Structure 1
Amino acid sequence: MSGADDLDPVLVHHIVNTLGWPGLRPLQEAATEPLLAGDDALLLAPTAGGKTEAAIFPLLSKMSADRWTGTSVLYVCPLKALLNNLLPRLGTYTDWLGRRAALWHGDVQATGRKKILTGRPDVLLTTPESLEAMLVSANVDHRAFFAGLRAIVVDEVHAFAGDDRGWHLLAVLERLQRVVGRPLQRVGLSATVGNPEELLQWLQGSGAGKRPGRVVAPHLDDAQAVSPAPARPPGDIQLDYVGSVENAATVIAALHRGEKRLVFCESRRLVEELGEKLRAKGVTTFLSHASLSVDERRRAEEAFADARDCVIVSTSTLELGIDVGDLDRVIQLDAPGTVASFLQRLGRTGRRSGTLRNCLFLALTEDGLLAAAAMLEQWSRGWVEPVVAPPEPRHIVAQQILALCLQEHQVGDRLWQEWWAGFGPFGQSAEPIVRHLVDQGYLDRDGDMLFIGSEAERRFGHRHFMNLTAVFTAAPEFTVLNGLAEIGKTDPTLLTEDVPGPRRLLLAGRSWQVTYIDWHRRRCFVEPVDGGGKAKWGGVGLAFTSYALTRAARDVLLGADPQVRLTGRASSCLAEARERFAEYVHPAGTLIVRHTDGDVRWWTWAGHRANATLTATLGGLADPAQRPNACWVRLGSDLTPQLWKQTTAHAAQHLCLPAVHEQALKGLKFSTALPPRLAEATLAARLADLEGAAAVLEQPVRFVSPVGP
Structure 2
Amino acid sequence: MTDSNSFTLLDQRIQRYIWAEGWTELRDAQELAIPLIVEAKRDVIVAAATAAGKTEAVFLPALTHLLGSKAIDGLIVYISPLKALINDQFGRLDRLCKDLEIPVWPWHGDIAANVKAKFLKRPTGVLLITPESMEAFLCNRGTSVGAIFAGTQYFVVDELHAFIGSERGKQLQSLLHRVEKVIARTVPRIGLSATLGDMQLAADFLRPTKGAEVAVVESYAAAGELRILVKGYEELAVERQPEPNDSEEDKGPEEIAPAQIAAHLFKLLRGSNNLVFPNSRREVERYTHILNEMCAKAQVPNEFWPHHGNLSNELRCETEAALKQHEHPATAICTNTLELGIDIGAVKSVAQIGPPPSVASLRQRLGRSGRRKGEPAILRGYCIESAITSKLELAVHLRLETVQMVAMISLLLEHWIEPPMAAGIHLSTLIQQILSFISQNGGTTASQLFALFVTPDAPFSGLAPDDFKDLLRNLGQKDLLTQDSSDLLLHGQLGERLVNHYSFYAAFASDEEFRIVASGKPLGSLPVSQMMHVGQHILFGGRTWLVEEVNSDEKTIYVVRTKGGVPPTFSGGAGRVHTRVRQRMRELMATTSDVKFVDETAQRFLRESRAAYARLSLDKTLTLDQGSQVFLFTWLGDAANEVISCLLARQGMTAWIAGPGLEVMKKGNTSEDIESVLYDASIEEPPSLLELLSGAQNLERAKWDWALPQNLLQKTYGSLNLNIEEAFNWLRSTFPDGATRPRPSVKTD
Q: Give the TM-score normalised by structure 1.
A: 0.82
Task: Provide the identity percentage.
Answer: 28
**Match of residue 382, structure 2, among 354, 359, 362:** 362
Change in Cα spacing, 1:252 to 1:440, as seen in structure 2 (3 Å) is: closer
Deviation of 1:119 after TM superposition, in Å, equals 4.3
Check whether the contact 1:44–1:190 (CA below 8 A) recurs between aligned residues.
Answer: yes
**1:669 equivalent in alignment to 2:689:** no
Aligned position for 1:483: none
1:259 matched to 2:272? The reply is: yes
Of 649-658 and 21-30, deviating more is 649-658
SS for the counterpart of 1:205 is coil
Give CA deviations for 1:158-213 in whole Å, capped at 9, x if unaligned: 1110311111110111011112221011000012422101211211135546xx42
Counterpart of 1:163? 166
Structure 2 counterpart of 1:443? 481
Residues 1:347 and 2:367 are matched in the alignment: yes
Question: Is 1:295 aligned to residue 328 of structure 2?
Answer: no
Q: Please give the secondary structure, in 2, of the residue aligned with 1:27.
A: helix
Match of 1:188 among 181, 187, 191: 191
Q: 2:686 aligns with which of 644, 654, 664?
A: 654
Report the counterpart of residue 626 of structure 1 in structure 2: 655
C-alpha change, 1:632 and 1:663, in structure 2 (3 Å) is closer
Distance verdict in 2 for CA 1:292–1:638, change over 3 Å: closer
Structure 1 residues 697 and 665: alpha-carbon distance in aligned structure 2, compared to 1, 3 A threshold:
closer
Q: 1:53: how far off?
A: 0.8
**Residue matched to 1:225:** none
Moved more, 30-39 or 554-563: 554-563
Equivalent in the alignment of 1:692? 726
Indicate if the aligned counterparts of 1:652 and 1:694 stay in contact, CA closer than 8 A: no
Other-structure match for 2:293: 280
Distance 1:415 1:656, change over 3 A: closer
Q: Contact (CA 8 Å) 1:393, 1:682: kept in 2 or not?
A: yes
Corresponding residue of 2:408: 375
- Give the direction of change, closer, same or farther, for the CA distance of 1:325–1:655 in structure 2 (3 Å limit): same
Structure 2 CA distance, aligned partners of 1:672 and 1:551?
36
Which range moved further: 642-651 or 263-272? Answer: 642-651
Shift of 1:638: 3.8
What's the secondary structure of 1:627's corresponding residue?
strand
| Cα offsets for 1:496-529 (capped at 9, x unmatched) | 9789xxxxxxxxxxxxxxxxxxxxxxxxxxxxxx
CA distance in structure 2 between the partners assigned to 1:679 and 1:602 by the alignment: 28
Residue 260 (structure 1) shift: 1.9
**Following TM superposition, by how much is the alpha carbon of 1:214 offset from its aligned partner in structure 2, in angstroms?**
0.9
Kindly report which structure 2 residues correspond to 1:365-444, keeping only aligned pairs within 5 A, or say none: 365=385, 366-389=399-422, 391-420=424-453, 422-424=456-458, 426-427=460-461, 429=464, 431-432=468-469, 433-438=471-476, 440-444=478-482
Report how far residue 30 of structure 1 moved: 0.4
Alignment deviations for residues 456-514 of structure 1 (CA, whole Å, 9 cap, x no partner): 124x14xx24333222222579xxxxxxxxxxxx9999xx9789xxxxxxxxxxxxxxx
Secondary structure of the 1:55 match is helix
1:8 deviates by 0.8
Amino acid at match of 1:471: A
Tell me the distance in 2 between the aligned counterparts of 1:65 and 1:16: 20
2:181 corresponding residue in structure 1: 178
Match of 2:534 in 1: none
Distance 1:651 1:614, change over 3 A: farther
For each residue in 1:398-438, what CA deviation from the matched residue of structure 2 results, as whole angstroms up to 9, or x when unmatched? 22111111111122332223434643553463532234334
Cα distance 1:584–1:337, how it changes in 2: closer, same or farther (>3 A)? farther
Q: Is the counterpart of residue 578 in structure 1 residue 610 in structure 2?
A: yes
Distance change (3 Å), C-alpha of 1:252 and 1:387: same
Matched AA of 1:594: D
Judged with a 3 Å threshold, the aligned counterparts in structure 2 of structure 1 residues 298 and 97 are, in CA distance, closer, same or farther, namely: same
Cα 1:206–1:559 shift into 2, 3 Å? closer
Which residue of structure 2 aligns with residue 517 of structure 1?
none
Q: Tell me how far apart the structure 2 counterparts of residues 266 and 49 of structure 1 sit (CA, whole Å).
A: 28
Counterpart residue type for residue 144 of structure 2: D
SS in 2 for 1:364: strand
Q: Which residue, 576, 591, 597 being the options, matches 1:565? A: 597
Counterparts of 1:393 and 1:349, CA distance in 2: 34
Q: Structure 2 vs 1, CA of residues 249 and 178 (structure 1 numbering), >3 Å: closer, same or farther? A: same
- Whether the 8 Å contact between 1:202 and 1:208 is mirrored in structure 2 is yes
Mapping 1:147-162, distance limit 5 Å:
147-162=150-165
Please say if 1:240 is aligned against 2:274: no
Aligned to 2:298: none
Partner of 1:7: 10
Q: CA deviation at 1:649?
A: 7.2
1:604 correspondence with 2:634: yes
Return the alpha-carbon distance in structure 1 between the equivalents of residues 674 and 280 of structure 2.
45
Q: Is the 8 A contact 2:123 2:149 kept in 1?
A: no
Residue 665 of structure 1 aligns to a residue whose secondary structure is: coil
Q: Report the CA distance shift for 1:413/1:690 in structure 2 as closer, same or farther (over 3 A).
A: closer
Supply the AA of the counterpart residue of 1:235: L
Using the alignment, how far apart are the partners of 1:424 and 1:259 within structure 2?
Answer: 49
For 2:734 and 2:375, the matched residues in 1 are separated by 48
Give 3-state SS (helix, strand or coil) of 2:275's partner. Answer: strand
* Letter paired with 1:331: A
Aligned to 2:622: 591
8 A Cα contact 1:476 1:491, kept in partner: no
Question: Alpha carbon RMSD of aligned pairs, Å?
Answer: 3.3
Distance (whole Å) between structure 2 residues aligned to residue 141 and residue 645 of structure 1: 60
Aligned to 2:76: 73
* Contact 1:611/1:630, CA 8 A, preserved across alignment: no
Indicate if the aligned counterparts of 1:585 and 1:591 stay in contact, CA closer than 8 A. Answer: no
What residue is the counterpart of 1:268 in the other structure? Answer: 281
Within 2, Cα distance between the matches of 1:643 and 1:417?
A: 45
Displacement of 1:380 in angstroms is: 3.5
What CA distance in whole angstroms lies between the structure 1 residues aligned with 2:15 and 2:694? 57
Contact 2:142 2:440 in 1 (8 A): no
Offset at 1:298? 1.3
CA distance in 1, matches of 2:269, 2:45: 38
Counterpart pick for 1:555 among 578, 581, 587: 587
With over 3 angstroms needed to count, the CA separation of the structure-2 counterparts of 1:132 and 1:642, relative to structure 1, is closer
In structure 2, what is the equivalent of residue 31 of structure 1?
A: 33
Equivalent position amino acid for 2:624 in 1: V
> Is this contact kept in 2: 1:27–1:51, CA < 8 A?
yes
Letter in 2 for 1:400: Q
SS in 2 for 1:161: coil
Deviation, 1:101, is 0.8
1:640 is displaced (CA, Å) by 3.1
CA distance in structure 2 between the partners assigned to 1:330 and 1:419 by the alignment: 45
- The answer for the alignment partner of 1:683 in structure 2 is 717
Q: Partners of 1:426 and 1:198 in 2: how far apart?
A: 16
Question: What secondary structure does 2:365 align onto?
Answer: helix
Indicate conservation of the 8 Å contact 2:354/2:384, yes or no.
Answer: yes
1:224 alignment partner in structure 2: none
Point out where structure 1 has 5 or more consecutive residues left out of the alignment. Answer: 221-230, 478-489, 500-538, 705-709
Structure 1 contact 286–301 (Cα < 8 Å) conserved: no
Task: Confirm or deny: 8 A CA contact 2:402 2:602 kept in the other structure.
Answer: yes
Q: Which amino acid aligns with 1:242?
A: Y
Shift of 1:392: 2.1
CA distance in 2, matches of 1:655, 1:630: 24
Contact 1:652 1:693 in 2 (8 A): no
Larger deviation, residues 280-289 vs 692-701: 692-701
CA contact (8 A) 1:74 1:152 kept: yes
Three-state SS of the structure 2 residue aligned to 1:415 is helix
Answer yes or no: is the 8 Å Cα contact 2:648–2:677 preserved in 1: no
Match of 1:49? 52
CA distance in 2, matches of 1:275, 1:341: 21
Whole-Å separation in 2 of the counterparts to 1:561 and 1:266: 29
**1:97 is aligned with what amino acid?**
L
Distance in 1 (alpha carbons) for counterparts of 2:101 and 2:516? 50
Alignment of 1:544 onto 2:579: no
